[in-house]
Chain A
């Protein structure tokens, strides 16, 4: 599992040297942001179902076609896909907040998924629409502190970028 700490140590070890000043600064930076990340992870875990549900409800409000009875792609199709997958990515985002790096997302959420989506011609539009909403919906200090929200939004952006 990659994190700022393991990356720095692995690089130093590969070169057979002690961690440099810039190595230590990057670790220190990550540790300083740890409290904000833990807050974001805690708030996200406690509110996961609402976040996922709001995200897909917002998409359906935006694309009312999905509500038409008898359409080949029924509302349930979209809801089920969004709900399951948004929850999956939110869980990985919470892991990444704890680790302080994108390792969990890279290793369990992104690697391989792009190929699968393309090979099976699965739509990534719903993820992007739902995750964009999830990013914009967050509000400080209502949901979490401004620093925590910055950490959370950065990872949501990371997922949007990597999956699209």
Chain B
């Protein structure tokens, strides 16, 4: 489990239990019990599980109790607390759809082969206004093939993420992949949620043929890397894929040049610089990549200055725009950005992780030899994507010293990259 945010509120287990046990009508602050329920997912103890079960059984009718209760269900799921399953099961008939959704998800995390519970979950498909996608995913996770005919009607659901989940589930349960291309086609939906959602379904279906299309999908590289790596790990283990097939795709995604993406938006008129800058802040990366591509294809002299200005004003604190500023400085080969890129390379705040890899690659684009030493350091970090991006940037700068040190890297992709490159570099040197 990703632990980067494990103690974001700095609460101990005892403090969290005390807050959660506070009767909702007496809670000092409305969000405290919710935060406590969330925090207890990090403490896998009997005391923590018992406190969460007590919270699930508090049915006081208020928004704040509802969300604290729902979060308690989710935390029991994260803790895989079998002991909590009876309390969670009671939530399957709750009137609040999100409480039902959390209960279904938590049962999926805990795991069960109790057919009564599995049927109860399946029957939710017949109930209006439920989160069908989560229900369908959970039925897959619990391997309840008996549900397949009740999932089938959702293949034509108007909501694309729901249809995507249903199609991939029928593929898996009925071993009929004739419709999987519809899931692949959602990678080009103009709805960003559909684009992100279908990735999960392609992972679940282990549909390796989708890897090139995933690489070209206009969503954040973090989603694409996660999908390709998960598929690759399964595919390599089962003999359906080779590392040699996967590495170029990983590099293409890490490099993240908008020319390698199939964009789903377009401008109806040439945009002004100010507009393009603002587009970098969009939460739909389909739009940010279109702006980036426009910056590259139609260079504007004032662009670097505007990028520096927006960095100072807002982007230094916005983990989306921050990344795009770093990338653009590289694509525009803007030498005065060297110091900015070095700062980004060393920024250890977790939400700027992709900016570190982006800055490494942009330093490679600038071609400034001063970057070799800091990139050698970042190549030895513990973050695989930063290691990999640093190796790519060092290659651009003609340095292969770190590849030799990473022949036994912990990460399989970094290790394969190093092992693939070292003999090639040696041959080139001899020639």
Residues of A within 8 A of B (CB): 62-63, 65-66, 68, 71-74, 76-81, 83-84, 88, 111-116, 118-126, 128-129, 132, 136, 157, 160-162, 164
Contact = CB atoms under 8 A, between A and B. Distances in A.
Nearest to A79: B317
Contacts of A116: 196
A121 B9 contact: no
B77 to A, nearest CB: 9
Which 3 residue pairs spanning A and B have beta carbons closest together? A65-B10, A112-B193, A164-B67
B71 A63 contact: no
A162 B31 CA distance: 14
B5 A65 contact: no
Interface of B is mostly: helix
Nearest to B322: A80
Given A81-B319, A132-B31, A164-B98, 7 more contacts: A66-B10, A79-B317, A88-B283, A118-B74, A125-B9, A161-B98, A164-B34
A63 B38 contact: no
B7 interface: yes
Contact of A125 (B4, B8, B66, B70): B8
A67 to B, nearest CB: 10
Size range of the interface on B? 35 or more
B61 interface: no
B351 A164 contact: no
B31 A76 contact: no
A72 B4 contact: yes
17 contacts: A66-B8, A66-B10, A77-B351, A78-B8, A80-B317, A80-B351, A115-B197, A115-B200, A118-B74, A119-B200, A125-B9, A125-B31, A125-B34, A128-B35, A132-B64, A161-B66, A164-B98
A156 to B, nearest CB: 10
B133 interface: yes
Contacts of A128: 31, 34-35, 67
A163 to B, nearest CB: 9
B63 interface: yes
B196 A112 contact: yes
Q: Which of B30, B74, B319, B349 is the most central at the interface, judged by chain A CB atoms within 10 Å of its CB?
A: B349
A164 B70 contact: yes
Contacts of A126: 8
A73 B71 contact: no
B116 interface: no
Given A73-B4, A164-B34, A164-B71, A84 B197 contact: no
Interface string B1-37: 1101101111000000000000000000111001100
A129 B35 contact: yes
A118 to B, nearest CB: 7
A77 B6 CA distance: 13
Contacts of A113: 193
B163 to A, nearest CB: 13
B161 interface: yes
A73 B5 contact: yes
Nearest to B109: A118
